[in-house]
Amino acid sequence: MLILRDHLEENAKFLSPTPGIQPPVPEPETNTSGDPASTSNPAPTPNPASTSRTPTQNSKKSSGGSTDVSDAEVKLLDKAWKPVAGWRDVEMVDSLCKALHTYLGERSVTLTGIDEMLLQVCFQPYIDGNRTKPGWLYNNSEADARAMVNEVIQAVSFVMNILGFPIYVLNNYKVPVEGFHSLVDFALMAKKVKMLTEIKAPQVLEKALTKLEGQSMRISTQSGGPSDELVLNKACLYMSSHKVNWLALTSHHKWIFFRLHPSSDKEPEPYISYSSVEMMENNTRPFRALLAMMLATVGEIKVVDSNVDKTVPLPVIEEEEHHSSESSQEDQDKIGSYRGSGPVTKKEYDLRPKPTGPRPTDSPELLVGWTRRKVPDTEWLLFYALDGTKQCSSLGAAPIRLWLQCDVGQGSTGVVYEAKLNIDDDDDNTRTSHSYAVKTVVKRRSGNIKGAVARLFHEFEAYRKIEQARKHGKFGHIAPRCYGMYESRGLYALILDYEGESLDDDDWASLTEKEKSAIYKLISDLHYLGIGHGDLEPRNVVRNSEGSYKIIDFDKWWFHDCPGIKRTKKGSWYRRDIGGQCDELKYLHEMLIGRPVKKEDIPQ
């Protein structure tokens, strides 16, 4: 018999699993409790390649998988969460450690098959013995921090198994809720519930912690804000999207803990409490707090309510100016023809109830919590047209509001949502029943056009060429109708008609000869316009309710002078045998037919 507390407190040793001692893997369970801290979906079946009882060795090589949280994800939180603010709880870690001390003191842990000597070998004193280990205290990157936190997570997993609560440790975890694509570094899951750990590089966390020097914090949805604020906003948003009550934010040698307090009879408004900063050096408090949070998550211990002073006023968040001036002149020239004249970055639509009197100047707060409220239709995402949209099908000159109903796809460029539309004019009844596909990309805070943003603008060029042909009565059948590029404070959005779902491999295999010819003709017509698609796959072909097909996803297109197509003297055009002439059409034909192209295969 052994009291685990002795090793946690007196010896000041962290736990590391010994090879050969393998705790059992719990079976995933389906949530039926309705508890706010429980997942709202069945626990995901772990992928052996990416999940385990403890983080995989590959995770030590990773720089971390967390991705930016977009404005769209904020609005997809049922569009019904109340604002949340945060207050410092200087006694949070003390309360966690005290609850753990009481729990372990009342419980004798039987370690079948493991004697005390072997257990001591497992509890290697990482703080004293591995002080010279690279990155232990002075890691310089998120990858270093992740490798070190990995060992702490292993220790928590090992102890939880000893205590009878085997857990999953899910790396780069995406919440299983439609519409959310951001990843959190570690999710520790047991008994249908989970706790999150998010890792940041030391210099990033150090800057963010300056925002927590006071006794309160305000949570903002402004994705264009300073990076130090975004680190904290993301952490709080993760708690909402994953529906968890506990989150640890760390660079390994510094830790800060967040707790979400759902609304109740005593506290009608949800809020977040956060701890003081805990240092890892010569200190087991961060580890004990993490273990206590996990035990609180599975319902084994009860942590006392927060000791916060909610009378402390919230800090005022000053609205940040647009950052495009930081970008290079070349980048500015690239988007100059698209930039609208409206005050885009100053008019992000506020999701709070509209007060009487002048419009408030502070930033809108994050919609998060568990007390639902009805959000008026006029509080959808507000977008302004960029100048290049004039060459596309028109949605009018007024700003538009989009209701992002659900996501229908995700790729290297961005996330695509099915959406409804409201025109922002004097008529409040101009909502459309028509469905649109909205491809969104989070703006780069530096204003530079690169990466996903550059691909979206490049894709828009292809749609503009197709729209120009459509206006002349030609080739409008190739792709969904395009309404142009729009922007909000935090997003760029390419708006198209929603034509239906993409084909999958089974759909592709069941195409009739007539349907194959129709798809082949679409690409041939595209080549006639001088556009090579660059990514011909079933997922980039959609079928609408009328049974016709459209081509989508032009982010890899290029100017193409197809050798298989030429004009006649009368201005019409024809196709000839292109089997050895055009690589893209040859590739498409082999995808459709399963053999090289022949002249009789060419649609007339």
Same domain, 437 and 517: no
Q: Are residues 516 and 460 in the same domain?
A: no
CA dist., res. 454 & res. 462, Å (int): 13
- Looking at the predicted structure, is the pLDDT value of residue 245 above 70? yes
Say if residue 383's pLDDT is above 80.
Answer: yes
Neighbour count for residue 49 (Cβ, 10 Å): 8
Question: Would you say residue 249 lies in a domain?
Answer: yes
Alpha carbon distance 94, 281 (integer Å)? 17
pLDDT category, 600, cuts 50, 70, 90? low
As a whole number, mean pLDDT of residues 220-229 equals 50
66 backbone φψ class: left, alpha, beta (φ>0; ψ -120 to 50): beta
Taking only the tens place, the pLDDT of each residue in 120-134 is 434 344 434 444 455
- Asked whether residue 169 falls in the same domain as residue 248, the answer is yes
Pair 142, 289 in one domain: yes
Asked if pLDDT for residue 506 goes beyond 80, the answer is: yes
DSSP result, 355-421: PSSSPP-SPPBPB-SS---PPPGGGSEEEEE-GGGGGS----SS-EEEEEEEEEEE-SS-EEEEEEE
Same domain assignment for residues 407 and 451 = yes
Query: Which of the two residues, 47 and 96, has the higher pLDDT score?
Result: 96
Residue 100 lies in a domain: yes
Mean pLDDT of 498-510: 87
What residues form the annotated binding site?
A: 439
Q: Which domain holds residue 453?
A: 331-353+360-497
474 and 514 in one domain? no
Say what the pLDDT of residue 412 is: 64
How high is the pLDDT of residue 411? 66
**Domain end (from 478, 497, 516):** 497
Q: Which two tokens stand for residue 486?
A: 């729009």
In a domain, 386, yes or no: yes
487 and 525 in a single domain? The answer is no
**Banded model confidence at residue 276, pLDDT cuts 50, 70, 90:** confident
The contacts of residue 86 (CB under 8 Å, 6+ apart) are 216, 217, 218, 219, 236, 258, 271, 272, 273, 274
Verdict on whether the full-model pTM lies above 0.75: no
Query: Does residue 278 form part of some domain?
Result: yes
Residue 118 lies in a domain: yes
35-39, 231-235, 434-438, 533-537: range with lowest mean pLDDT: 35-39
Q: What percent of the chain has pLDDT over 90?
A: 3
Confidence category of residue 541, pLDDT binned at 50, 70, 90: very high
Domain finish residue from 497, 531, 553: 497
Cα separation, 287 vs 14, whole angstroms = 8
Identify whether 58 is part of a domain: no
**What's the CA gap between 399 and 349, in Å, rounded?**
11
SS3 292: helix
State the pLDDT at residue 463: 92
Q: What is the pLDDT of residue 39?
A: 35
Q: Look up the CATH number of the domain holding residue 384.
A: 3.30.200.20
Angstrom distance (rounded) from CA 193 to CA 196: 10
pLDDT of residue 400 exceeding 80, the answer is yes
- 443 has a pLDDT exceeding 80: no
Rounded Cα–Cα distance for residues 575 and 528 (Å): 10
Closest to 139 in 3D by CA, of 64, 197, 54 = 64
Cβ(260)–Cβ(391) below 8 Å: no
Residue range 382-390: average pLDDT?
A: 79
CATH number, residue 577: 1.10.510
What b/e string do you get for 448-479 counting C-beta neighbours within 10 Å, with b at 16 or more?
bbeebbbbbbbbbebbbbbbebbeeeebeebb
In a shared domain, residues 492 and 551: no
- Tokens in use for 170? 């899910």
Give the span between the Cα atoms of 439 and 215, in whole angstroms. 40
pLDDT band of residue 219 (cuts 50, 70, 90) is low
Residue 250: enclosing H or E segment and its boundaries? strand 246-250
Sort strands 491-497 and 549-551 into parallel, antiparallel or unpaired. Answer: unpaired
How many domains would you assign to the chain? 3
Q: How far apart are CA 440 and CA 20, in angstroms?
A: 47
Structure token pair of residue 290: 């993490």
Asked whether residue 35 is assigned to any structural domain, the reply reads no
| Rounded Cα distance, 31 and 189, in Å | 12
Same-domain check for residues 525 and 416: no
pLDDT digits (tens, 9 = 90+) for 44-87: 333 333 333 333 333 333 334 444 555 556 555 544 445 467 78
Residue length of the chain: 604
| Helix ranges, 435-536 (H) | 452-471, 505-509, 513-528
Q: Is the pLDDT reported for residue 91 higher than 80? A: yes
If asked whether residues 180 and 271 sit together in one domain, one would say yes
> Are the beta carbons of 169 and 184 closer than 8 angstroms?
no
Q: What is the pLDDT of residue 551?
A: 92
How much is the average pLDDT of 362-369? 27
pLDDT band per the 50, 70, 90 thresholds, residue 390: confident
Which residue, chain included where needed, has tokens 């459709």? 592
Determine the pLDDT at residue 550. Answer: 93
Question: Residue 11: CB partners within 8 Å, gap ≥ 6?
Answer: 123, 125
- What does the pLDDT average to over 440-459? 72
Write the DSSP symbol of residue 9.
Answer: I
Give the residue from 375, 374, 376, 430 showing the smallest Cα distance to 400. Answer: 430
Residue 138 lies in a domain: yes
How far apart are alpha carbons 147 and 152 in whole angstroms? 9
Which of the residue ranges 97-106, 255-264, 296-305, 365-374 would you say has the lowest mean pLDDT? 365-374
Instruction: Count CB-CB contacts under 10 A for residue 505.
Output: 10
Question: Is pLDDT of 563 > 60?
Answer: yes
Confidence of residue 546 (pLDDT cuts 50, 70, 90): confident
pLDDT at residue 282 in the model: 65
The mean pLDDT of the chain is 65
- What pLDDT, on the 0 to 100 scale, is given for residue 220? 58
The tokens describing 20, both together, are 């050969």
CB 184 within 8 A of CB 242: yes
Q: Which residues pair with 531 in a beta bridge?
A: 559
Query: Are 114 and 161 in the same domain?
Result: yes
Q: Return the pLDDT at 181.
A: 62
Instruction: Indicate whether 37 pLDDT > 60.
Output: no
Average pLDDT over residues 408-425: 72
What share of the chain has pLDDT > 70, as a percent? 53
Please tell me the distance from the alpha carbon of residue 586 to that of residue 596, in angstroms, as a whole number. 7
Q: Which position has the higher pLDDT, 147 or 362?
A: 147
Per-residue pLDDT of 305-317, as tens digits, reads 777 776 666 665 4
Token pair recorded at residue 271: 């809020």
**Position 160 pLDDT exceeds 50:** yes
Q: Rounded to the nearest 5 degrees, what angle is found at the Cα of 172, between the Cα atoms of 406 and 133?
A: 160
Per-residue pLDDT, 69: 56
pLDDT value at residue 30: 36
Which distant-in-sequence residues (6+ apart) come within 8 Å of 558 by Cβ?
531, 532, 534
Shared domain for 440 and 535, answered yes or no, is no
Summarize the annotated binding site for ATP as residue ranges: 439
